[in-house]
Every structure is written in C-alpha cells, then in structure tokens.
Structure 1
Amino acid sequence: MRGDPFKPAARVAGQRADVWTIVNEAAAASPKQPIVNMGQGFFGYNPPEFVVNAAKQALDKVECNQYSPTKGRPRLKKAIADAYSPFFGRTLNPDTEVTITTGANEGMLSAFMAYVEPGDEVIVFEPYFDQYISNIEMPGGKVVYVPLHPPENGATQTTSAAEWTLDFDELKKAITPKTRMIVLNTPHNPIGKVFSKEELQKIGDLCVENNIIILSDEVYDRLYYVPFTRIATLSPEIAALTLTVGSGGKNFYATGWRVGWLIGPENLIKYVSAAHTRICYSSVSPLQEATAIGFEQADKEGFWEQSKKEMKGKMDLFNQIWDELGLPYSDPEGGYFVLVNLARVQLPSDYPFPDHVASRPRDFKLSWFLIKELGVAAIPPTEFFTDQNAHLAEDWLRFAVCKDDKVLEDAKERLRGLRQYIK
C-alpha cells in the first residue's frame, strides 16, 4: 500500500530557505521602514507611455482577450523577427525561427523539456540565475557547474565586470559524452559581464566540436555599455546549435508581463514550441500585442538608446556611494545589477543573526545586517553558487539600480551608515 499521500516530490521537498524568503523576512522585521529595495530586479517605474498605451488599447480588442496561437501572436513574432534580423545579419522567418513563451524563464524551461532527458548533462556557469537549476532538474537533467572566477584584486580595488573570467580548461574538462547543452548568460546576471567576442568564439567552437546545444540567455540584450556580440552570429555552425532567449519584460520595464521568446533554427525551435504548448498552451494575448507594438515603435521613439543611456546614468549615480566610502565594486558592462565587495565591512561579532542566516556564507549575514540596520535590501550572490564555490562571492552583495533616482539617492544616504563598520 502506498505511504503518505501528502509527501512532496523530492524536487520540492527539503529545500533550505531561499534568498527571497530570507530577504523578505528581514525586511518585514527591520525597524528601518520603509525598506529601500535594491534587491530583486524589478523596475521601480512604469514602461514607456507608448507601450502602456498599447496594452490599454489591446484590452479593447476582442481577439486580444482570447487565446493566442500557441507559438505566439503573428504580429509579435513578425515584430521580433523584424527587430532582430539586422543583428543576425539575415532575415529571420517569424513563422519558423521565433516562438513566444510566458516569460523568458518558461521559454528556457521549454527548451530543457524539449532536449534534456534523464541522465543528460547541462553545463551552467556560476553564478547562475537560480531558475536554471530547477528547470534543468525537472526533466531529469544533471547540472554541471563551471565557475566564473572573480578578479584577484576585487576586494581591494574597483574592477571591470570583464575581469570575472572563465577557465577554458575547466570548461573542457566539464564536457562529457553526456553533455547535451550549455547555458550562457550575457549580459550576465548578477555580474554584469558582457562576454567578449573571443570568449564566445571559444565557447561556440567547443559546442560545435562536441555537438552541444547553446541556450543563450540574452534577456538584458538592450542594456550594454561595451560592444555586445550575440553568439548565434559568429558562424553558421554555431548558429545551427543556438537558441537565443529574449524578454519583453526586461526590454520594456514590464517584468510582470511575462512575455518572452526564443529565436533559433527551425529544427530546434519546433520542439521548444511543442514543449511550451504542453506546459502552458499559450501566453497572455493583450500583453503580446502590446509588446509587438513596443517593438514596432521603439526605434521611432528613440527608446533603445534612451533606455541604455538612462540605465548607465543610474548605475553611475548609484556607484558614487562606493567611491565615496572607498568600497570596491565590479563595474558592470551591461544589465542593471552591480556587485559590491564588502570585505572591509566588519560585522559586530555578537550580532544576533538567526540560525538560518548564521549558517549561510558571509554575504547572507551582510544582506541581513544592511536590511536590519540601514534599511537597504541587497541580494547575497552565493545563492547563485554551489556550496563548493560559494567562497568566491561571500564578500559581495548584488544591488539592482533599476529604480527611480530618488530611491537611489535614498539608498546612498542610508548606505553612508556603513562608515562606522569599515575597517
């Protein structure tokens, strides 16, 4: 006879408290209210007016309130194909090379569900977006981790995010006959690294040599401050193995819309579309329509360059506090996160950390301390590392700058309270 019917599946049972739970717990208990949230990477302001208006107008259309085709609304697929064809150097076919998903995360899950079977291995670079791991494990895949190494002098001076490096000997050793996919993230969360053309070429060549699918998570592809290369553009052989992931939420400041897509060759995309259909059938119709209009009008509105300029301005504005305090950071090449090294911050030896924080790496204690004592929330990046490699990031914290300038100034004022703890 079967045992406890309420026993959860192993994939969700026995998990330790995740970073979001711990940060929210600290925020709720902090005497410094309201908390300045520099933690989770959602925007502190609305999408541009032309995109918001498109969403409002879409709700008035009967067809936009009903099911969309499972592979996405034709208008959105065409808008994405039109917008990305110049980057890919050829005309993308919206019907066979683009599929729309319920956010980039569900798109990546669909890719794993399409190609990963029990026992297959997927290489992921540390630090990683935490959803990668569960998405790979659900179809029975095994995650193989390869770390990005921080700059040697990152604790003593400000460095470039480019200085977080991939050891290609480690990558080569991680490849086995069971390796099915490699997950790439550029611009990178949380580091802000934009992989160079040379790095991407080496990764791509290894994948071609070993017949490995590349899942290139490029959701921050409109926010780069140095030259940005898309791995699928390096050669026809690399393109044939590459699925490129995009996000309307990241592009248009609308992370709650959950509109994502994948671009890739027909023989790869069709199975991703098939998995997506079985996971959620179709994605939100009016917001697909609004995202399509956003792409159609973005160039005319000058939105892409304005978006990049404004985010770089926010990054520079916020990072003034670290220069002022003499704390080094990893200067981002893209995205809207910055990693700050707090090795010089001396936490009180008798500080009453709860057990589930005290047992975690130092960055969890730093995060808890900043929330409780200064009222500023930031994310401990060791959450995105294996325990084996957590030491690489235990002195860093991740701050999201996609907030109103007033919020950034408030955060800076509160962070000046760190002075008394800097040794």
Structure 2
Amino acid sequence: MKHRFLAKRYWKDNSTPLGDSVGLARSYPDLINLSIGDPDLTTDERIIKAAFSDAIDGHTHYTDSFGDLELRSAIMDFYTEKYGYDVELAECMVTTSACHAMWLVMETILDDGDEVIIHEPYFTPYVQQIRLAGGIPVPVVTREENAFQLDVADLEKAITERTKAIIINTPNNPTGTCFSRETLEAIADVAREHDILIVSDDIYTAFSYAEPFIPMTTIEGMRDRTITIGSFSKDFCMTGWRIGYILAPEYIVKTVKNVNENNVFTAPSISQRAAIHALRMRSEVQPPIIEEYRKRTYYACERIGKLTNMTVLPPRGSLYLFVNIKGTGLSSAEVTRRLLEEAHVLVVPGNAFGESGEGYLRLALTVPVDKLEEAFDRISQMELFKS
C-alpha cells in the first residue's frame, strides 16, 4: 500500500502465495496443509534437552561475532568427515538462518545494478533478497524435459558484464531435482571462464535420494569462488531454531561479519548450542528423518501416477514434488483454488516460483503417510483428476 511513512520500494505489494498460504491454512478445520516446507517432525528430544541444559549452565549470552567457536569447529569436522573437504575456521560463520545468510551474502557482494542469475523455478525470496541489496535478479528457466537440470547454454546467454554471481539450489526447492556432477562441473566451468561467484544454497543436503549430495565448493577449482549457505532447519527438523551458516573465502566471511554486526550481531546462543548437539548426534538423529521423508515422497509420487491430469518426475531429493497439472487446461492458481475448496488440500501454485512454474503445483510432504493417503483419496474424487 502507498503511504508517506512507508518506503516507496514497499508501496507495491510484495506478498507471495507462500506467505498467503499461512492465512489460507485456517480456511477449513479438516484442511490438509501441503503448502509450507516446515518439517512436521519436532526437533529430536535429545537435542532439545542438551541445548536447554547448556542454557541452564550459562549459554545465554552473546557468542563470538563469527559464531560459537565450538559450533564452527563442529561444522568444520562435519565437512572433513562427510566430504573429505577441509574448512578453515576463518572461512566459517554462523548466521540466524539460511535466509538471513542469503541476504547477508547479497548485501556483502553486490553493488547497485549488479546481476545475479537464479535458475527458475526458484525459492521465492531470492528475488527480493537480491533487490534489497541493490542487485538485479536474472532468471534462467530450467525445464521438466531436462529433469530441471540447468542448461549451460541457457546460462551462458544470461551472462553480461554486470553478472556478479549465480545462485544454485540443489536438492532443489521447489522442483526436487538434484544437479548431477556433470551439471555442477559445467556450471563451475562457466563461473571460472567469466570470473563469477557461485552462491550455493545447500539446505536440503540430507535429502538427496537418487545419489549422494555433492557440494559445489568441493568441485575442482571452486573453493575460492563458492559461497556455501548451510542450515539446520530441514536436515535436522530445526526450523524454529533459526540457525544457518556461511562457508566462504576469509575476506568474504570477514565482511559478512561486519554487515551482520549492524543487523542482529550474533545468532541466538541457545540455538547454536542445539546445532552443536545436532551435528554430534547426526548418525542417530538423521537416518529416521531421511527415511520418513523418502517414504512420503515415493508414496505421493505413486499416488500421483494413478490420477488423471497430474504427472510428476521420479523423486530425486528435497521434501517436495513439483506436479505438472497442464493437462487440466487450467492455471496453477485455479487448480490450487479448486483443491482447497473441493478437497480441502492446500498446495502452492507453481508460478509462485517464477513464471515458468505456471502449469505446476508444489506439494510439501510435511504430513505423515496416513494424511497423504487421505489427501490423495480426496483429490481422486475430484472430477478434475478422476481416472
């Protein structure tokens, strides 16, 4: 809305279907919510108890500006053990969520008018995070017929003299695709050739079902031009703790720290303690989480395969399915509305993730299998999707 006391950049409504879905979730008492990607599983009780024990022991103060030293060391150990990749302490900083990390990175690297390439469909906040830092988002469309892999020819066409960075997100929200090593190496070649940074949004690393996750920063020659954004939100079901981190060359991390000191100063100390315990307990905590979401993803895919006017690629990763509903002849918004009104199932229309998402729906598999069964039973009774 327009008002003289509001900054003019916010006069235009910047709300999104993702944000609007929170209000719609209250529409029906029996609603099944497949819209927001917030894992329904509560943080493992052992992590909670250990964090609160630390709080009682006095961990309720500011931490080091770069983050709790113990947590940064644990993140370093994790990368060494999991990927055989050594991170220096000065290359690691803890942030108040991965979303906050992305904004900090954009604020750190962008001059006004710099361009940032994002592969579309994309995580909705990217566009505003880039613009808030004075940058210009440049979408590059990925396609279902290519399993939503980023085509390097399309990437090359989008590069200009103002291109500063490419954001990649794999496993991907919303499509669920996982970039192959071949795709990652091709993107790396382009980044090196054109002297471009890669900002790698690595928040679903545990949910790579088809093949092991490969961090972009581990690709040969990419350490010095990759900024990795990590998170505990999805991999450990810790969304409410708001803890993420950045791995980057030391000069970038130092500048990010300086920016952050004028923002939130440090991430919450108790949440950082929880992250320490999550990493230490990951071999016990993560496997059942991963298996549960894998089970849901494959179940939903199987049910979609039995419906008319709905198709989806075989699952590869993340907590989502990006469902093709072009066979209905209706818009994503119209199908979303009908699912809500006729089946009391809430999803997000695909165009929330960029124009090329039109004709798709994103399903977040954040309810148990019995609820998914009920949701698809209702959907199967709609004339639009009856076999």
TM-score (norm 2): 0.93
Q: Deviations over 1:152-191 (max 9, x none)?
A: xxxxxxxxxx612323222112111211111010111000
Look up the match of 1:355: none
Look up the match of 1:46: 42
Contact 2:342 2:382 survives alignment (8 Å): no
Q: Deviations over 1:218-268 (max 9, x none)?
A: 100111112222111111x21110011111111211211110001122232
Q: Does 1:192 align with 2:176?
A: yes
Aligned-residue CA RMSD (Å): 2.0
Look up the match of 2:307: 325
Q: How many residues align?
A: 384
Q: Work out the CA distance in 2 between the residues paired with 1:52 and 1:372.
A: 38
Look up the match of 2:321: 338
Matches within 5 A, 1:246-395: 246-299=230-283, 301=284, 303-326=285-308, 327-345=310-328, 362-385=331-354, 390=355, 392-395=356-359
Q: Does 1:119 align with 2:119?
A: no
Contact 1:346 1:422 survives alignment (8 Å): no
Look up the match of 1:57: 53
Q: Does 1:134 align with 2:128?
A: yes
Unmatched tracts of structure 1, length 5 or more: 152-161, 348-361
Q: Does 1:150 align with 2:144?
A: yes
Q: Work out the CA distance in 2 between the residues paired with 1:268 and 1:111.
A: 8
Q: Which amino acid aligns with 2:216?
A: I
Q: Does 1:209 align with 2:193?
A: yes
Residue 57 of structure 1 deviates from its aligned partner by 1.8
Q: Which amino acid aligns with 1:139?
A: A
Q: Work out the CA distance in 1 between the residues paired with 2:86 and 2:222.
A: 17
Q: Work out the CA distance in 1 between the residues paired with 2:158 and 2:329.
A: 37
- Distance 1:90-1:393 versus aligned 2 partners, 3 A rule: closer
Range 36-45 or range 398-407, more displaced:
398-407
Contact 1:114 1:274 survives alignment (8 Å): no
Residue 16 of structure 1 deviates from its aligned partner by 5.6
Q: Percent identity?
A: 27
Residue 68 of structure 1 deviates from its aligned partner by 1.6
Look up the match of 1:176: 160
Matches within 5 A, 1:397-408: 397-408=361-372
Contact 2:113 2:134 survives alignment (8 Å): yes
Q: Work out the CA distance in 1 between the residues paired with 2:325 and 2:134.
A: 38
Q: Report the secondary structure of 2:381's partner residue.
A: helix
Look up the match of 1:359: none
- Distance 1:120-1:296 versus aligned 2 partners, 3 A rule: same
Range 119-128 or range 16-25, more displaced:
16-25
Q: Which amino acid aligns with 2:305?
A: D
Q: Does 1:78 align with 2:73?
A: yes
Q: Which amino acid aligns with 1:48?
A: D
Contact 2:380 2:386 survives alignment (8 Å): no
TM-score (norm 1): 0.86
Match of 1:234 among 209, 212, 219: 219
Residue 308 of structure 1 deviates from its aligned partner by 2.3
Q: Report the secondary structure of 2:36's partner residue.
A: coil
Range 196-205 or range 78-87, more displaced:
78-87
Residue 34 of structure 1 deviates from its aligned partner by 2.4
Q: Work out the CA distance in 1 between the residues paired with 2:386 and 2:328.
A: 4
Q: Work out the CA distance in 1 between the residues paired with 2:130 and 2:158.
A: 16
Match of 2:11 among 13, 26, 31: 13
Q: Deviations over 1:177-218 (max 9, x none)?
A: 211111010111000111011111111111111111110001
